[in-house]
């Protein structure tokens, strides 16, 4: 990503796009729906198995994790 003349947000978003493009080029999935995860019950099961570290940048609740998973479909 060339940062010249771009805001931090523009640089970050372009970096995300490039990373997604890389994953697709190597055949990796980028969305849970590509793995067959499509409903709230499956997301609930995934959220229950996630490890939450109190030493992370943000302590995440199960609801935080579910929100992230919903956006990953």
Q: Is 5 left (phi over 0), alpha (psi -120 to 50) or beta?
A: left
CB 32 within 8 A of CB 10: no
Residue pointed to by tokens 């997604």: 20
Quick: pLDDT tens for 28-69.
Answer: 999 888 888 888 888 888 888 887 777 667 778 888 888 888
Q: In sequence order, which residues have a C-beta less than 8 Å from that of residue 44 and are 6 or more positions away? A: 66
Q: What pTM was estimated for this model as a whole? A: 0.58
CB count, 10 Å around CB of 43? 20
CB 28 within 8 A of CB 70: no
């Amino acid at each position: 990503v060339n940062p010249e003349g771009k805001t931090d947000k523009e640089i970050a978003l372009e970096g995300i796009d490039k990373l997604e493009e890389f994953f697709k080029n190597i055949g990796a999935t980028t969305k849970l729906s590509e793995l067959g995860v499509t409903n709230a019950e499956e997301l609930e099961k995934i959220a229950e198995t996630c490890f939450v570290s109190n030493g992370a940048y943000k302590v995440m609740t199960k609801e935080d994790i579910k929100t992230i998973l919903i956006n990953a479909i």
